[in-house]
A and B are shown apart, each in its own frame.
Chain A
């Protein structure tokens, strides 16, 4: 039996023990020790804790110190970040998706995403087509991370892919199609959005 399976078994046995024995009698302790002799020491240790809990008073009016709550929340965010970093690393190792693949994954066209984010459709189109030069405004990236169910790192990878193989504009009779990538801020400023929305997406508010 591997250590991991043994630990999982131990946890499930002890969890079930607590569920069955809030105030474990001598009979129950002996019964569980006989059923799971490999966890005898743990069962007895947990029985001692169960007895302490069964006979102590619980302060129902307890208040949690704000600094402790803030510390725990910060810790939670760190755990989330660490988990995402780990997932991102795994994803990067496998493959990077394009913006179009991300859109297909959530089943949303560019105009739908633009409407949900309240941003100009042309802004997103330029980004997805590889016509927008970094740095990309954080607000724009955060919005896409949320709507596309992805991560900042994957957005950066998709941007790199888009810039490396941009979509060409439609061919015209007068000239061959060209790609004119422009800075993110220029695209936002030149878009057809209202001044307020431009200020918002330029993070000038």
Chain B
């Protein structure tokens, strides 16, 4: 028994008899998955029963891990992505010299999860439409006006807008490490922040189809300014590689969507009820 992890020490990767015994005793589940990967790769098809038992256990582990993380909001409830990722991981298992093949022996979970994140990113890229792309036209006076007006979009009509350019003013000494610019002047943001955690928990942000817009909103809620001229203070625009105007439009769009979302309305009603 490994006293550091509480897990049993597995047989050596090449110990065929040891793995046969472990399988016969139904003990695969007490070993680290990395040990199973090493045995699967090193034993190969010396014993097909052992090979298949290890394949079954690793397959179940991969599926369980992926099902926990892949939401049912993806096409075919996420199963397409899960099966694609499983296929990719299993192919890597049979190719021990590949980067993934080596990596799975060292850190099975992180490698599998990386592969599914990559699959999700690829799927999102494929689903992207021309409407999702950041606008490329130059700013016009009308656009500038729109930016100023975005603060009239509110999930709470009673909240007064603030001046946009002061919202994330960075007032610190440039010689010091800059603290996170918290948008404390914006009561709207406070309002949103109060329900932000619940928005995430309830999966309400899934209504925002574009992942870049969701990230813009996450960064906005994290207190990141739309723009920043200060050294060492990054902005939403820089992080996403978009213009400040687009950053503002995206956040505005998300806030509009959320304001109309029944789930947010319900959360806000509960919040008001809790106050009274």
Contact = CB atoms under 8 A, between A and B. Distances in A.
Interface of A: 8, 11-12, 14-15, 18-19, 25-27, 29-30, 33, 40, 42, 44-53, 55-60, 62, 64, 68-69, 71-73, 75-77, 79-80, 83-84, 142, 145-147, 149, 151
Nearest to A53: B69
B103 A15 contact: yes
Chain B residues touching A, range: 35 or more
A33 B241 CA distance: 9
Contacts of A149: 44-46
Nearest to A151: B45
Contact of B55 (A49, A64, A68, A73): A73
Contact of A76 (B48, B90, B95): B90
Nearest to B219: A26
Contacts of A49: 117, 120-121, 124, 211
Interface of B: 44-49, 51-52, 55-56, 58-60, 62-64, 67-69, 71, 79, 82-83, 86-87, 90-91, 94-95, 99-100, 103, 110-111, 113-114, 117-118, 120-121, 124-125, 200-201, 203, 205, 211-212, 214-215, 218-219, 222, 224, 232, 234-236, 238-241
Contacts of B114: 11, 14-15, 18
Contacts, number: 149
A45 B121 contact: yes
A27 B48 contact: no
A8 B98 CA distance: 9
Contact of A80 (B55, B99, B113): B55
A54 B99 CA distance: 26
A26 B94 CA distance: 38
Contacts of A57: 200-201, 203
Nearest to B122: A45
A64 B78 CA distance: 12
Contact of B121 (A15, A46, A58, A79): A46
Given A26-B224, A29-B240, 11 more contacts: A44-B215, A44-B240, A51-B214, A57-B203, A68-B83, A71-B83, A72-B82, A75-B83, A79-B91, A146-B45, A146-B46
